[in-house]
Structure 1
Amino acid sequence: MADLSPIDLQKALKGADYPAGQDDLVSVARNNGADDQLVQKLTRTGAKRFDGPDEVQKAVFGNE
């Protein structure tokens, strides 16, 4: 995928239960077929816990 979009992130995290740890979200994303770029962005957020999908989106896209 050339550019990661918020929709890609939502699809990758479908079924995630919040609050969730970073490792849990990476696992959900991988199980949902997320590509390496998305997984890397999740792991580089620096956050260890997320209270909801909006918080994940801000962490992933807030640094761009």
Structure 2
Amino acid sequence: MAAPNPIELQKALKGADYPAGRDDLVSLAKDNGADDALVEQIANAGPERFDGPDDVQKAVFGKG
């Protein structure tokens, strides 16, 4: 299986309300059927809170 990518991240976080806490995004990703590897990447992302999807992408993938 390929490594998670930004498109999968967008699908996993569909319906997120920002600003959002990391734990809320992890739960949402699980509910949206995200791959376990992607859920783990979100769970291990830097900040506790994200202002928007770009912040999540930067924290998870290290780029914007």
TM-score range, shorter chain: over 0.9
Question: For the residues of structure 2 that align with 1:27 and 1:14, how far apart are their CA atoms?
Answer: 12
Matches of residues 1-64 of structure 1 in structure 2 within 5 Å? 1-62=1-62
Provide the aligned C-alpha RMSD in A. 1.2
Q: Which letter maps to 2:39?
A: V
Length, aligned pairs only: 63
Deviations 1:25-61 (A, max 9, x none): 0011000000110010001112100000000000000
- Normalising by the residue count of structure 2, what TM-score does the alignment of the two structures yield? 0.92
Question: For the residues of structure 1 that align with 2:59 and 2:28, how far apart are their CA atoms?
Answer: 17
- C-alpha displacement at 1:3, in angstroms? 1.4
Question: For the residues of structure 1 that align with 2:20 and 2:54, how far apart are their CA atoms?
Answer: 12
Secondary structure of the 1:39 match is helix
The list of structure 1 runs, each at least 4 consecutive aligned residues, that deviate by more than 6 angstroms after superposition, is none
- Normalising by the residue count of structure 1, what TM-score does the alignment of the two structures yield? 0.92
Q: Which letter maps to 2:47?
A: A
Structure 1: give runs of 5+ residues left out of the alignment: none
Q: Which letter maps to 1:52?
A: G
